[in-house]
Amino acid sequence: MTGQEIRDMDLKYNLHSWSKQKGLKPLVITKAEGIYLWDSDGKRYMDMSSELVNANVGHGNKEIVEAIKEQADKYCFLSPGFAVEPRAILAKMVIERMPDNMGKVFFTNGGADANENAIKMARLYTGRYKIMSRYRSYHGSSFGAGNISGEPRRYALEPGIPGFIKFFDPYVYREAISFDSEEAATKFYLAKLREQVVYENPSSIAAIVMETITGSNGVIIPPKGYLEGVRKICDEFGIMMICDEVMAGWCRTGKMFAFEHFNVKPDIVSFAKGITCGYVQLGGVAVSKDIAAFFDDHVLSCGLTYSGHPLACAAGIACLKYYDSAHILENVNAVGAVLGELEEGLKEKHACVGDVRYIGLWSAIELVKDKNTKEPLVPYGKDEQGVMASIVQSLIRKGFYTYSHENMIIVAPPLIITKEQLLEAMDILDGVLGEVDAMI
Ligand code: PLP
Q: Provide mean pLDDT across the span 264-293.
A: 98
- Among residues 325, 344, 367, the one where a domain terminates is 325
Can you give the pLDDT at residue 384?
84
Residue 161 CA to ligand 1 center (angstroms) comes to 19
pLDDT tens digit sequence for 294-344: 999 999 999 999 999 999 999 999 999 999 999 999 999 999 999 999 999
138 CB under 6 A from ligand 1? Answer: yes
Write down the pLDDT at residue 412: 98
Question: pLDDT tier at 381 (50, 70, 90 boundaries)?
Answer: confident
Q: Are residues 321 and 338 in the same domain?
A: no
Are residue 18 and residue 163 in the same domain, yes or no? no
CATH number at residue 116: 3.40.640.10
The rounded Å distance from CA 77 to ligand 1 centre is: 24
**Could you tell me if the CB of 140 is within 6 A of ligand 1?**
yes
283 CA to centre of ligand 1 in angstroms? 9
pLDDT value at 80 more than 90: yes
**pLDDT at residue 385 in the model:** 87
Q: How many CB atoms lie within 10 A of CB 80?
A: 16
Give the nearest ligand 1 atom to 113 CA. Answer: 16
Q: Which atom of ligand 1 is nearest to the CA of 53?
A: 8
Boundary residue ending a domain (263, 296, 325): 325
CB of residue 223 inside a 6 A radius of ligand 1:
no
Question: In terms of domains, do 133 and 181 share one?
Answer: yes
Q: Give the atom of ligand 1 at the shortest distance from the alpha carbon of 211.
A: 3
**Residues contacting 160, CB < 8 A, separation 6+:** 147, 154
DSSP 8-state secondary structure symbol assigned to residue 97? T
Q: How far is the CA of 345 from the centre of ligand 1 (A)?
A: 30
Q: Are the C-beta atoms of residues 194 and 153 closer than 8 Å to each other? A: no
Examine the domain organization and report whether 68 and 29 are in the same domain: no
Tell me the H-state helices in 242-309. Answer: 289-297
C-alpha–C-alpha distance, residues 288 and 338, integer Å: 36
Summarised one tens digit per residue, pLDDT across range 124-171 is: 999 999 999 999 999 999 999 999 999 999 999 999 999 999 999 999
Q: What pLDDT digit, counting tens, does each position of 236-263 carry?
A: 999 999 999 999 999 999 999 999 999 9
- Which of the listed residues 138, 157, 280 should we mutate to test ligand 1's pocket, taking the one with most ligand atoms within 8 A of CB? 138
CA 420 to centroid of ligand 1, rounded, Å:
30
Q: Is the CB of 240 under 6 A from ligand 1?
A: no
In a shared domain, residues 314 and 341: no
178 and 130 in a common domain: yes
Distance of CA 319 from the midpoint of ligand 1 (Å)? 19
Q: Is the distance from the beta carbon of residue 275 to the nearest atom of ligand 1 less than 6 Å? A: no
Q: Which residues form the domain of 381?
A: 3-57+327-439
Distance 411 CA to ligand 1 centre (A): 17
- Domain closes at, from 274, 297, 325: 325
337 shares its domain with 270: no
What percent of the chain shows pLDDT beyond 90? 99
Residue 179 phi/psi, 5-degree rounding, is -90, 150
| Average pLDDT of the residues in 104-118 | 98
What's the DSSP call for residue 216? T
Q: Kindly state whether residues 128 and 259 are assigned to the same domain.
A: yes
Distance of CA 217 to the CA centre of its chain: 10
Take atom 5 of ligand 1 and give the residue whose Cα is closest. 247
Same domain, 421 and 311: no
**Shortest-distance Cα residue to atom 10 of ligand 1:** 139
Q: Are residues 203 and 276 in the same domain?
A: yes
C-beta of 258 in contact with ligand 1 (< 6 A):
no
Q: How much is the pTM?
A: 0.97
Residue 406 CA to residue 354 CA, distance in Å, equals 14
Nearest ligand 1 atom, CA 109: 15
C-beta of residue 388 within 8 angstroms of C-beta of residue 378: yes
* Ligand 1 center–CA 50 separation, angstroms: 14
Q: Answer whether 316 contacts ligand 1 (Cβ < 6 A).
A: no
Is any ligand 1 atom within 6 A of the Cβ of residue 139?
yes
**pLDDT at residue 428 above 90?**
yes
How far apart are the CA of 270 and the centre of ligand 1, in A? Answer: 10
Does the beta carbon of 215 lie inside 6 Å of ligand 1? yes
What CATH number did the domain enclosing 388 receive?
3.90.1150.10
The three-class DSSP label of residue 257 is coil
- DSSP-assigned letters across all residues of 163-193: TEEEE----GGG-SSPPSSHHHHHHHHHHHH
| Mean of pLDDT values over 405-413 | 97
User: 231: Cβ below 6 Å to ligand 1?
Assistant: no
Q: What is the pLDDT of residue 440?
A: 92
Q: 401 and 417: one domain? A: yes
Does residue 269 sit in helix, strand or coil? Answer: strand
How does strand 268-271 pair with strand 240-244?
Answer: parallel
Instruction: Give the residue, out of 247, 259, 275, 410, with the most ligand 1 atoms within 8 A of its beta carbon, to mutate for a pocket test.
Output: 247
Count of domains observed in the chain? 2
The verdict on 261 and 365 lying in the same domain is no
Could you tell me if 133 and 209 are in contact, meaning their C-beta atoms sit under 8 angstroms apart?
Answer: yes
Residue 180 CA, ligand 1 centroid: distance in Å: 34
